Structure 1
Amino acid sequence: MFDWKGAPVLHTPSPDFAGPYDLAVIGAGVVGCAVARRFALAGARVVVIEKGADILSGASKANSAILHTGFDAPPGSLELELVQAGRAEYLAIRDSLGLPLVETGALVCAWNALEADKLDAIAAQGRANGVNELRLLSGTEARATCPGLSERLVAAIEVAGEHVIDPWSAPLAYLTQAVALGARLLRDAELIGGRFEDDWILETSAGTLRAAAVVNAAGLYGDLVDARLGLKPEFEIRPRKGQFVVLDKAAFAHVPRIVLPVPTEITKGVVVCPTAFGNVLIGPTAEEQEDRTRATVETGALEALLARGAEIVPALAGIPVTAVYAGLRPATESKAYRVIARPERRAITLGGIRSTGLSAALGLASHALKLHEDFGLPATVPAEPPAVCLPNLAQTRERDWQRPDHGEIVCHCELVTRREIEATFDSAIPPGDFGGLRRRTRAGMGRCQGFYCNARLAEMTQGRLAPPLAVGEREE
């Protein structure tokens, strides 16, 4: 089968894709992947409907990759509850799934007396939220834990439990475990409409399917998906763009901890943060826009981020930029998560999941399962979860290039081997486009941004990606 441009369509559903299913999850972002896993573990027959060519093709592909403690979440909020539940589950399952944890800790930094005056209240809120590993530090004490910080630092709060994770391997692991339990992933399948007739009849661009219940985890399209399902939208998505700068790996030595600003009423502000891949990122900006699809980067905003990063950690001023990117967060008119259950129609909406979605995803999934229990649908719990262990991409643990017989190093910037690339195409959820390949392997994400390895990658992936990779291609 070919699309209108003549490119091969690689995700044509099999003839039995119509179901019936116990649950249809709309959206294969981090929340949708976590929901699929949780319901599959509970014995449900699950289908995940994703309009993109690969998972994480929307808001979930661009974030700061911080595993939050919830110290700064609104007290008593559902967000606080689910962030902490998600964090606890991630820590409990990460070893079995092969997922990394870079134990950095964080510093909430005050750069003037006005900001310093707010630290006591921030610490008090954190403790009220159940986060007790907080210390108020003088500027000198904070710099002792992160020597690269500017001498201008007045004071800080140390948050020992804030850490960094791999933002792409985690949801891939969740969905891989769901698929091992029998879940189906339909890519290139946009939801067109749905109606509830004892079961849900869902019209997608790939065909019609039937499911007993639905979970809307459509992120930036959450309100539109509710409308297409005939459900009254109770919120409006207002996309918020965040631009990021990624610095070369030489920056990592100067930023051993997550450096957070004192937040304002509008934004949490610009973060300087190490990554699991050995880089340092600076961002995000916070810019409202109407476009839900395209997140552009602007020179002025990126230059401002670089200047701010150098103010915070002066040594960053001379370090080259490896990459820039922008992501969209599914903000709404309210800061709160917009979680809505409609038992009479067996529908759950998980909307307005913004910057804490990576941390809260597993908590959201368990919460959705509890809401689903009111629907009265039976399920048979599997005897034992299948073993799933993803290959490590984090810089802080052994990588495949350090092991024998890897074939060759294809991407020298990120030290990605031929064996890693071949393995991801042989996996339960192979990449559907070049962005998916990058997120699964780090190929093309380094200093040259694919300049040297794209020709080899194009050769290795011929006939496997839609559209095919062309030399010089970049992911937006």
Structure 2
Amino acid sequence: MLPEHAPAFDESFDIAVIGAGVVGCAVVRRLALAGAKVVLIEKGGDLLSGASKANSAILHTGFDAPPGSLELDLIKAGREEYLSLAGSLGLAVVNTGALVCAWSDKEAEKLEAIAAQGRDNGVSNLALLSGTDARITMPGLSERLVAAIEVADEHIIDPWTAPLAYLTQGIALGARFLRNAELLEGRFEDGWHLSTTAGTVKARAVVNAAGLYGDIVDGRLGFTPEFEIRPRKGQFVVLDKAAYAHVPRIVLPVPTEITKGVVVCPTAFGNVLIGPTAEEQTDRVRATVESDALENLLARGAQIVPALEGIPVTAVYAGLRPASESKAYRIFCRPEKRAVTLGGIRSTGLSAALGLAQHALGLIERFALSLSAPAAVPELCLPNLIETQPRDWQQPEHGEIVCHCEMVTKREIEAAFESPVPPGDFGGLRRRTRAGMGRCQGFYCNARLAQMTRGRLREPLAVGDEPT
């Protein structure tokens, strides 16, 4: 039964999207562009409150995706659309290229098959290199390198601004964003009645993009879940900016049957990332960092690029990927109840998000909702956070610099709160501005940030500060 105390919204929607991760935000944008009246329902206080906030920020080509799979098709479609949107939405693109590195003769024997699979997947810009030739393209690599595949078109991107841009464009087209609204139950009676902790939402159709809770949400919608989420934890180490000069390219391992392995790669923010681990667990909420695993990552990074040994660690973090019992995406369409499930979207979700949104729209078109695309699409360009393009502190009259580690201005922080999708928690503010993400991890700037955010966040930074 739906809770009687929960208020109902006066308006109803064409489509409700559940889950404000990168996939949910991309789906909202695509549906709004098609003319749908959309509401995004998120249990957390901000977008990217779940799995999407922690990833390696690589825009994949799909060279190593399962041949002939839907995942491959959606990675390629998502990548193509991302690159086409980069200029108009201000999305970050840094073309570093990648090297798939073999550190033994046994691994080297697998490279030809990996390259052949990549070409079969439509990725032509591949080259087999000797260890010597690979080190010419990246001198910092260990001399133990036996051979490598150069994947010239792999990119690194800003993983947080992209979904924010998708949602911002959706909101400009009339979409609504409902935060702190956990789905409790759904009932279909010629339309959906969705009970959430923030009230009841009515919609003609629903898209489940709930990530780590995808199977649970299907159950709450009244479906027998056809997949099981099995969270996979990945721990990461972020090295100081001094490491960036030694890692100009993404360094990928030869994958195994179980995992793609540990990656060493530059970030768009001027650091170097080492990770992730791959650890199965049942907890869908807590992703702990463990000293032994982090020490192993640091040791592995120094084995790959010896100059990384001894470079200070800026941050450590862990994220959970919504793996399932199958390696394939778990996508289901139920036309009789106008419902789509986008489940089991694991490590390639950032790259495939826009492709998944296109696919979801194609499935929803079976529902005959009679949508009419808007006559005009509002233009927008989000603030730049990456180091390869000018930042706000480099512009005239930037004013106070609040976070000196990451060179974040007061103007940037104020703009984040005045934007169409203001941060709902401190994590959201960090992802929009980089404030507190540098060497001191907020030790010097958090007091100032607490002053500036007083009354603006659901959970205040300073004790005694209550939101207005």
Task: Give the alignment's TM-score, normalised by structure 2.
Answer: 0.97
CA deviation profile, 1:204-253 (whole Å, cap 9, x unmatched): 00111100000000000000000000011000000000000000000000
1:347 alignment counterpart: 339
Matched, 1:56 2:48: yes
Aligned to 1:179: 171
The answer to whether 1:236 aligns with 2:251 is no
Question: 1:9 corresponds to which residue?
Answer: none
Stretches (4+) displaced over 2 A: 15-19
Matched, 1:367 2:367: no
CA distance in 2, matches of 1:149, 1:156: 11
The answer (yes or no) to whether the contact 1:18–1:208 under 8 Å persists in 2 is: no
Matching of residues 418-437 of structure 1 within 5 Å: 418-437=410-429
| Alignment gaps of 5+ in structure 1 | 1-12, 472-476
Equivalent pair of 2:78/2:355 in contact (CA under 8 Å) = yes
Q: CA deviation at 1:375?
A: 0.7
In 2, Cα distance between equivalents of 1:384 and 1:138:
52
Distance 2:207 2:267 in 1: 31
Q: Kindly state the Cα deviation for residue 388 of structure 1 after the two structures are TM-superposed.
A: 1.3
Structure-to-structure mapping, 1:60-71, within 5 angstroms: 60-71=52-63
Matching residue of 2:134 = 142
C-alpha distance in 2 between matches for 1:18 and 1:362? 31
Could you tell me how far apart the structure 2 residues matched to 1:468 and 1:377 are? 42
Corresponding residue for 1:74? 66
CA deviation after TM superposition for structure 1 residue 17, in Å: 3.7
Would you say the 8 A contact 1:401–1:416 is kept in 2?
yes
For 1:91, the equivalent position in structure 2 comes to 83
Q: Which AA in structure 2 matches 1:375?
A: F
**Aligned residue for 2:240?**
248
Residue 390 (structure 2) pairs with residue 398 (structure 1): yes
Find the counterpart in structure 1 of residue 375 from structure 2: 383
Contact 2:8 2:199 in 1 (8 A): no
1:467 equivalent to 2:463? Answer no
SS in 2 for 1:81: helix
Q: Is the 8 A contact 2:436 2:446 kept in 1?
A: yes
Name 1:326's counterpart in structure 2. Answer: 318
Structure 2 CA distance for aligned equivalents of residues 405 and 184 of structure 1: 34
Identity %: 78
Q: Which residue of 2 aligns with 1:10?
A: none
| 1:171 match: secondary structure | helix
1:137 deviation in Å? 0.2
1:270 is aligned to 262
Quote how far apart the aligned CAs of 1:407 are. Answer: 1.6
Cα shift readout 1:324-359 (whole Å, capped 9, x = no counterpart): 000000000000000100000000000000000000
Structure 2 residue aligned with 1:114? 106
Preserved CA contact (<8 Å) 1:19 1:211: no
Corresponding residue number in structure 2 for 1:3: none
Cα distance, 1:109 vs structure 2: 0.1
Asked whether the equivalents of residues 454 and 470 of structure 1 are also in contact (C-alpha less than 8 Å), the reply is no
- Contact 2:8 2:201 (C-alpha < 8 Å) held by counterparts: no
Question: Which residue does 2:30 correspond to in 1?
Answer: 38
2:16 aligned partner: 24
In the TM superposition, residue 18 of structure 1 has moved relative to its aligned partner by: 4.7
Hey, what's the Cα distance between the residues in 2 that align with 1:229 and 1:25?
12
Q: Which amino acid aligns with 1:260?
A: L
CA deviations on 1:67-122 (whole Å, 9 max, x unpaired) are 00000000000000000000000000111001110110000000000000000000
Q: Is the 8 A contact 2:8 2:200 kept in 1?
A: no
Q: For 1:210, what is the secondary structure of its paired residue? A: strand
Measure, in 2, the Cα distance between the counterparts of 1:421 and 1:406: 12
Which secondary structure does the structure 2 equivalent of 1:318 belong to? coil
- CA distance, structure 1, for counterparts of residue 137 and residue 330 of structure 2: 38
In the alignment, which residue of structure 2 is the partner of 1:8?
A: none
AA aligned opposite 1:309: G
SS in 2 for 1:374: helix
RMSD across aligned C-alpha pairs, in angstroms?
Answer: 1.0
In the alignment, what sits opposite 1:284? 276
Opposite residue 113 of structure 1, the aligned amino acid is D
| 8 A contact 1:196–1:345 mirrored in 2 | yes
Q: Secondary structure at the match of 2:149?
A: strand
Aligned to 1:155: 147
TM-score by length of 1: 0.95
Map Cα deviations across residues 50-75 of structure 1 (whole Å, 9 max, x no partner). 00000000000000000000000000
Read off the aligned partner of 1:137 and give its amino acid letter: L
- Indicate the SS of the match to 1:405: coil
CA displacement 1:247-286 (0-9 Å, x = unmatched): 0000000000000000000000000010000000000000
Structure 1 residue 19: Cα displacement = 2.7
Paired position in structure 2 for 1:203: 195
Q: Return the offset for 1:16.
A: 7.8
The counterpart of 2:250, out of the listed 258, 264, 267, is: 258
Residue deviations 1:376-410, cap 9 Å, x none? 11111101211111000001100000001112110
Which residues of structure 2 form unaligned runs of 5+? 1-5, 464-468
- Output the amino acid matched with 1:24: A
Distance 2:10 2:231 in 1: 32
Deviation at 1:470, TM superposition (A): 2.9
Out of 125, 149, 152, the residue aligned to residue 133 of structure 1 is 125
Paired with 2:190 and 2:8, the residues of 1 have a C-alpha distance of 20
Q: Which amino acid aligns with 2:46?
A: D
Q: Tell whether 2:97 aligns with 1:105.
A: yes
For 1:293-308, what aligned pairs fall within 5 Å after superposition?
Answer: 293-308=285-300
Structure 1 distance, partners of 2:431, 2:191, is: 36
The residue aligned with 2:181 is 189
- How many residues align structurally? 458
> What residue number does 2:3 align with?
none
Distance 1:277 1:321, change over 3 A: same
Cα distance in structure 2, aligned partners of 1:384 and 1:107: 42
Q: Measure, in 2, the Cα distance between the counterparts of 1:303 and 1:470.
A: 33
Cα distance between partner residues in 1 of 2:441 and 2:10 = 40
User: Structure 1's 18 and 307: CA in aligned 2 closer, same or farther, altered over 3 A?
Assistant: farther
Tell me what 1:446 maps to.
Answer: 438
CA distance, structure 2, for counterparts of residue 445 and residue 134 of structure 1: 35
Instruction: Tell me the secondary structure at the aligned position of residue 93 of structure 2.
Output: coil
